[in-house]
Structure 1
Amino acid sequence: MNELSKSKRYENFLVIIMFFVVGLVFLDRLSLGFVFPIMGPDLNLSNTQLGLTVGITSLFFGISTLIFASLSDFIGKKKVMLVIFVFVFSIATLLTGLVGSFFALIMTRIIMGLAEGPVMPLVQSIVMAESSEKRRGFNMGVIQSASSLIGGAMAPVLTVSLAVALGWRSAFYIIAIPGIIVGLILWKYLREPKLVVEQDEEQQLVKPTKADYLKVFKTRNVWLCTIIGTCNMVFILTLTAFLPTMLANSTNYKDAQIGMLLGAMGLMMFVGQMGAPALSDRIGRLPILKIFSFIAIFLPIMIALYYQNFVVLIISMIILSIGNGYQPLVMNIVPAESVSRRFTATAISFVILTGEIIGGFAGPMMAGVLADKYSLTAPLWITAIAAFIAFICTFGIKETAPIKIQQSKDIDLTM
């Protein structure tokens, strides 16, 4: 087998295994919201406590993201760090099934947040380093889409089914097992990526400097992606945390119908996250960002207005959930392409850090308080406002797609 074939084979392996790594992060993380209608009454937990738990997880998720992802950029030990974090968040999932109080739940989710935080930037920086230029957006989009397919579409069906059949504690025990298996596969087959600088610099491994590191935080695209990413975290975490409870408590839908609605939303988010980055490889990042972020605005609005009409609701979810396809672009692809290849993990982690701490922490907490004070539709209007702000900010992003950059260079050469 020649070197090119080996390279393509390893690239395909990376996309597949990292797809499952990211999927398991969101399966383990989002499962709490899906089983909360069963788990909450058993532990006497309120909506405010659910929001606090989701928020605390996001807070520590964000803090660990930048610390450990930046550390990986400097020490270059991405494989070992990734394997350790996969094992730890899987154990934290298992421990969630053992909790008997709100305090114990908070502690296990803090451990989970600390372990899961660095996973996405580590995964995406490894994949970007090993991806061919024409497949970069596609590969990173496929991996990000696992959050919707496994975490959004499969998780509600799987976790609710397990919780109903075996109890919510057993559900957490079972969903912890795949993470341990994936961790073992990574330990055996994952290679440490060799990150080289761009073609317009010397092709050699370069020791990063403090000045290079600080330059990441002065990049316009990184800051705009941070704002958009923050709004997106408000959108996705608030929606997934409170929508299952709202459908269970404010409608007469059966468990199967609720599972169908949540599964449809997750499946179409997956389709969007697969398709949007792939399209952006061909026509550019900016058009896709604007179109998909605009569509996303209407998902929570339609749910809030028609949540008691099953037919309208599921049609709205199928059509509008695709709008979240812009998420991989702002959380991973655009920030990674806007900085030196050496600092992709740092750029991605900074976007995630801010998004998690502000959007993931404050968003669900505020939504939980408003849900208890007013109604369970209040969180939906919060997500709609966040989606609108994200759309407005896309107009300030500078294009980063390789095909568009090359076209600009060709035009300059002909002038």
Structure 2
Amino acid sequence: MSTVKQLTPLHGRHHEWTLLLLLALAYGTTSFDRWLLPTLFPVMSADLGLDVGDLGNISAAFGIVFGVFALIAGTASDRWGRRRIMIPALLIFSACSALTGVFTGLIVIMAVRVILGMAEGAFVPALYSATVEASHPRRRGLNMGLLISAFPLFGLGIGPIIATQLLTVVPSWHWVFFLSAVPGLLFALLLAKRQKDVPNYPMQATDAGPKATAREAFQFSSLLRVLRRRNMAIAVASTILALAAMFVLGGLIPSYLTSVVGVSVTDMGLIASAIGFGGFAGQVALAGLSDLWGRRLMLVVEGIGAAVCLLFITQVGNSPAALFAILFGAAFFCFAILSLVGGPIVAEAAPRGFLGTSNGLVVGAGEIIGSGIAAALIGNFVASAGLATAPLIAALCVGAIALLGLLLIETAPRITERRRGSARSTVPSMSGETL
């Protein structure tokens, strides 16, 4: 019988699911706060005299510090524990979201959003590691999918609806930012009581070497040790490519729809909402399948699925229903890549004692290179080559992920146990029969 089935949760029968719920809601709250500024920017810009260029500068600064602090805090959480990183980060993040509604100058708002980016960058890798450590090995893919699905659902799906509706009942947009801090403060309090820094199940890392000491986990050279593993290098590259494709989906496709396809602004808003809802559906529907069918197969399928959908965007004309469906499909597969790579693939490839470092490296490199450098390069290229090239560029990015998936070493417990069982069954016994 599989040893994985016999694992007993250290922190009680319901700890895994109650903690997963709290972590997912906390992650959804940070996503809502992160995307609140772009959502309210049309209203804010009229009051503060800001333009789209200012929004771009604020977003770029946010992304860069997010990536840098993800690298630092992921490693720090290996040394000091997930709880000591997540709780202060969530408190600071919530406070900065509220402070965004206080100030009216560009420089001060940018400074507040930079601090907010530092806090979220510190929060996310510790959050991912805490989820993995709370999860049964056979549910790592499913649980990470459920967790990360909160990001598109709250930030890109429900969030804009809530924010714009609040504008109709509060005195001004300032109050929306004030109210956004309340859920984060509440979840910080609940997580402080619930989060344990001892894994709920034995991690059963694939690394056969000794567990890293706290001192080793905090050294910068640890990043090189992590990157030497094939699956970790593939995870980093896949995250960079996926976030570059998401920049096209979230940043360029709305303009593509109005300028190239010719849909109205009203229809564009409805069509673009498919990104949030499609991303949520993909991360929920596909995450658990990697536990059953393997990480390698699902990474290839998700890359191909996203590429096909992005290519079909150029073929469906200007029908809002058709465009919504195809954009839903692109986000469905593209967001699923992040939950697969950032969850079970990293968890099963990380050297012992380096889970936070590994998550920090994947998240940090993805934000700095994928959401920052690659996004800037893609934006400049599209500006000169034309918006019609945007879907093709995104399709090339996710298509490359499918190719990387072919190089992935399979680590899903169900698959590896099945293979070991098949190998044992073919070993001849002393009597000449098979076992």
Task: Tell me the SS of whatever aligns to 2:406.
Answer: helix
The answer for the alignment partner of 1:10 in structure 2 is 15
Alpha-carbon spacing, 1:45–1:296, altered in 2? closer, same or farther (3 Å)? farther
Which structure has the larger Rg? Answer: 2
Point out the structure with the larger helix share: 1
Q: What's the secondary structure of 1:398's corresponding residue?
A: coil
Range with bigger deviation, 172-181 or 109-118:
172-181
Deviation at 1:171, TM superposition (A): 2.6
Change (3 A) 1:53 1:365: farther
- Within a 5 Å distance, the mapping from 1:211-250 to structure 2 comes to 213=222, 214-243=224-253
- Taking the aligned partners of 2:178 and 2:264, their CA distance within structure 1 comes to 30
Match of 2:204 in 1: 198
* Partners of 1:209 and 1:84 in 2: CA distance: 22
CA distance in 2, matches of 1:57, 1:387: 24
1:4-403 superposed matches below 5 A:
7-75=12-80, 77-163=81-167, 166=170, 167-194=172-199, 198=204, 207-208=213-214, 210=216, 213=222, 214-243=224-253, 251-254=263-266, 257-258=267-268, 260-303=270-313, 308-324=318-334, 325-366=336-377, 369=380, 380-403=391-414
Secondary structure of 1:8's aligned partner = coil
Could you say what secondary structure the match of 1:91 adopts?
helix
Shift, 1:330, TM fit: 1.3
C-alpha separation in 2, matches of 1:397 and 1:344: 18
Once the two structures are superposed, residues 45-78 of structure 1 have per-residue CA deviations (whole angstroms, 9 ceiling, x without a partner) of: 4444333322221110110011111011023x32
User: Against the structure 1 CA distance between its residues 238 and 57, is the aligned structure 2 distance closer, same or farther, given a 3 Å change threshold?
Assistant: farther
Q: CA deviation at 1:331?
A: 2.1
How far off its partner does 1:101 sit?
A: 3.2
Contact 1:197 1:206 in 2 (8 A): no
1:354 Cα offset (Å): 0.8
Quote the offset at 1:251 in angstroms: 4.2
**In the aligned structure 2, how far is the partner of 1:35 from the partner of 1:395?**
42
- Quote the Cα distance in structure 1 between the aligned partners of 2:83 and 2:316: 46
Rounded to whole Å, the distance in 2 between the matches of 1:34 and 1:244 is 14
Distance 1:411 1:209 in 2: 41
CA contact under 8 A between 1:34 and 1:159: conserved in structure 2? yes
Residue 150 of structure 1 aligns with an amino acid whose one-letter code is: F
Q: 1:398 to 1:40 in 2, by over 3 A?
A: farther
Aligned residues: 410
How far off is 1:117 after superposition?
0.8
- Aligned-residue sequence identity (percent) comes to 24
How much has 1:380 moved relative to structure 2? 4.8
Letter in 2 for 1:232: A
Relative to structure 1, the CA distance from residue 4 to residue 360 in structure 2 (aligned partners, 3 Å threshold; closer, same or farther) is: closer
5+ residue gaps, structure 2: 1-7, 428-435
Contact 2:212 2:354 in 1 (8 A): no
**Deviation per CA, 1:12-51, whole angstroms, max 9, x where unpaired?**
1111001112212221112233333433454444444333
> Does the CA contact (< 8 Å) of 1:25 and 1:116 recur in 2?
yes
**Aligned equivalents of 2:360 and 2:55: distance in 1?**
25
Mapped to 2, the partners of 1:173 and 1:377 lie a distance apart of: 40
Measured against aligned partners, the alpha-carbon deviations of 1:251-271 in whole angstroms (never above 9, x if no partner) come to: 4243xx555434333122111
RMSD: 3.2
Does residue 408 (structure 1) correspond to residue 419 (structure 2)? The answer is yes
The TM-score, its normalising length taken from structure 2, stands at 0.83
